[in-house]
Amino acid sequence: MHNNKIQKVVIVGGGTAGWITAALMAKTLGKTVDITLVESDEIGTIGVGEATIPPLIHLNNAIGLDEKIFIQETKATIKLGIEFDNWGKLGDSYMHAFGGIGKNFPFCDFHHFWLKAKQGGNTSNYWDYSVNYQAAKKNKFKKLSGIEGTNLPGVEYAYHFDAGLYAKLLSTFSQSMGVNRIEGIVNQVNLNDNSGFVKNIVLEAGRIIEGDLFVDCTGLKALLIEQTLSTGFEDYSHWLPCDRAIVVPCESVESLTPYTRSTAHESGWQWRIPLQHRIGNGLVYSSKYMTDEQAKDKLLSHLDGKPLAEPKVIPFKTGVRRKQWNKNVVAIGLSNGFFEPLESTNIHLIQTAAIRLVKLFPHSGIKSMEVTEFNRQSKIESKQMRDFIILHYKLNQRDDSDFWRACQRMEVPDTLTKKMALFAQSGKVFREQDELFTEIAWQQVMIGQNLIPQDYHPIANSLSDEQIFDLMKNLKILIDRTVDNLASHKIFLEAL
């Protein structure tokens, strides 16, 4: 395909995507390849993206970022899960809490025991057995890998942070590891006549930058992957009907809740993300059912404090590039695609793409099998993510708006239909290969949105009704006691 050794990598774009890619590459491949990042202060970054999921901790560790510095510099808070209000029916509330729930038995998840207990008349809530949920609702946090003296899971966490500050931190870090930063606007991309590969990019000031491999991190512009290579886009918007977001930060309030809140409204949903110094807010909506003006009014009337800026509308289309890697261009970040931030997946997708590129790095030239494998993994990942996000929309019982009724009626991917049917009939749900979302994540959304299985696994019958009753009672005592002994979220942050 292209047998030239890859010696020079050019990353175009310095948002979260560009700098995560630069930092990871510098740390892992920096001794063998030359890395340049081109960004334009004049164009700037998208300036949103504040909620993350637990694997970000592994990324920071891999890069060598100290957690204390990271939390201080990015004004981060702890995130234990995402609370979903009004998603099943109006008035409902549940959480996709990170980490485990209850106690797992060999070959049989805890929720089967909970379902048996429920059929026997136990009225406890599934989240009574989640340490993360209980801690989140009491504004508590402490690093805890497991409940002492047991094999029960402890607290699993992620962060809310200022993505702009994170990019800045990674920029300093990457440059200290040898990444060459160039400021300027790219206004031309030249292709090699024979191969169709990108030969060089040209800055407004006339400077030409050559490279062997280009990483397109230009955000929604997709300057190389789409504007230059016309790679094509797989549109998911017939399943995910929201196409706009309006965002505004507001003043902080006294208690720093260690979870994201997602509140469904009549034509979409609103997020609330508490940082140390402010709260990030945004309303995601469908322009078919709501005007920008209506969205702005709705957003501003549901803030905890005074707005700190003028609300900004961001139009988007949900979906992904047909190929994340095309010729000698790899698209990472918004240039590759976008999922609304319902499950905080976009920064995670940057992380996995950057890791995948390092793992499949074509040091001796771009080979078709490496490119094919990269794109295969990327496709599987985005389809799994797509299904999980669609689930939230499909599985609603709201009858108060055309938007939600249309979501109930819509055809969903076959893979999702089968997953929901299997769970409805048997309570069984399986994580696909390396899928990001665990069985427990799927269970929480399905149970939280009122899909209560008709049956449970027979292994749950290995305990008598009395034993199940004791199990539930003892677990709850243990979890409540554990949570009572955690420090407050605020104290944890102050101690840093």
Which of the residues are catalytic? Answer: 79
- DSSP helix/strand/coil, 495: helix
Burial class (CB in 10 A: 0-12, 13-18, 19+), 123: exposed
Pick 115 or 246: Cβ nearer ligand FAD: 246
Tokens 């890395």, located at residue: 35
Pick 344 or 482: Cβ nearer ligand FAD: 344
- Least distance in angstroms from the C-beta of 270 to ligand FAD: 12
Pick 24 or 483: Cβ nearer ligand FAD: 24
Longest CA–CA separation in the chain, Å:
78
- Least distance in angstroms from the C-beta of 273 to ligand FAD: 7
- DSSP helix/strand/coil, 273: strand
Q: What's the one-letter identity of residue 269?
A: W
**Under 8 Å between Cβ of 237 and 317:** yes
- Least distance in angstroms from the C-beta of 5 to ligand FAD: 26
**Under 8 Å between Cβ of 158 and 441:** no
List the one residue from 316, 361, 442, 456 that touches ligand FAD (CB under 6 A). 316
Per-residue x/- marks for ligand FAD, 27-46, CB under 6 A? -----------xxx--xxxx
Q: Which stretch binds ligand FAD (CB under 6 A): 3-11, 14-22, 24-32, 67-75?
A: 14-22
314 binds ligand FAD (CB under 6 A): yes
List the one residue from 99, 282, 448, 453 that touches ligand FAD (CB under 6 A). 282
- Least distance in angstroms from the C-beta of 327 to ligand FAD: 19
List the one residue from 28, 60, 130, 218 that touches ligand FAD (CB under 6 A). 218
- DSSP helix/strand/coil, 305: coil
Cα–Cα dist 159/180, whole Å: 29
245 binds ligand FAD (CB under 6 A): yes
Cα–Cα dist 425/163, whole Å: 42
**Under 8 Å between Cβ of 489 and 258:** yes
Beta pairing, strands 329-331 & 213-216: parallel
406 binds ligand FAD (CB under 6 A): no
Q: Which long-range contacts (CB under 8 A, 24 or more apart) does 466-474 make?
A: 468/113, 468/116, 468/117, 468/120, 468/122, 469/117, 469/120, 469/122, 471/103, 471/113, 471/117, 472/113, 472/114, 472/117, 472/122, 472/124, 472/129
346 binds ligand FAD (CB under 6 A): yes
Per-residue x/- marks for ligand FAD, 169-208, CB under 6 A? ----------------xx----------------------
List the one residue from 6, 15, 113, 323 that touches ligand FAD (CB under 6 A). 15
How is 252-264 classified by DSSP, letter by letter? --SS--SSEEEEE
Token pair of 248, please?
């505004």
- Least distance in angstroms from the C-beta of 232 to ligand FAD: 18
Pick 114 or 316: Cβ nearer ligand FAD: 316
Cα–Cα dist 24/17, whole Å: 11
List the one residue from 100, 333, 362, 453 that touches ligand FAD (CB under 6 A). 333
Cα–Cα dist 79/343, whole Å: 12
Per-residue x/- marks for ligand FAD, 141-170, CB under 6 A? ----------------------x-------
Q: What is the DSSP letter of 128?
A: G
448 binds ligand FAD (CB under 6 A): no
- Least distance in angstroms from the C-beta of 83 to ligand FAD: 14
List the one residue from 16, 86, 104, 326 that touches ligand FAD (CB under 6 A). 16
Size of the site for ligand FAD (CB under 6 A): 38
The per-residue b/e assignment along 483-492, b for 16 or more CB within 10 angstroms, e otherwise, is beebebbbeb
Per-residue x/- marks for ligand FAD, 43-62, CB under 6 A? xxxx-xxxxx----------
Pick 71 or 117: Cβ nearer ligand FAD: 71
Pick 45 or 132: Cβ nearer ligand FAD: 45
> For binding to ligand FAD (CB under 6 A), which residues are involved?
13-18, 38-40, 43-46, 48-52, 163, 185-186, 217-219, 221, 223, 245, 247, 282, 314, 316, 333-335, 341, 344, 346-347
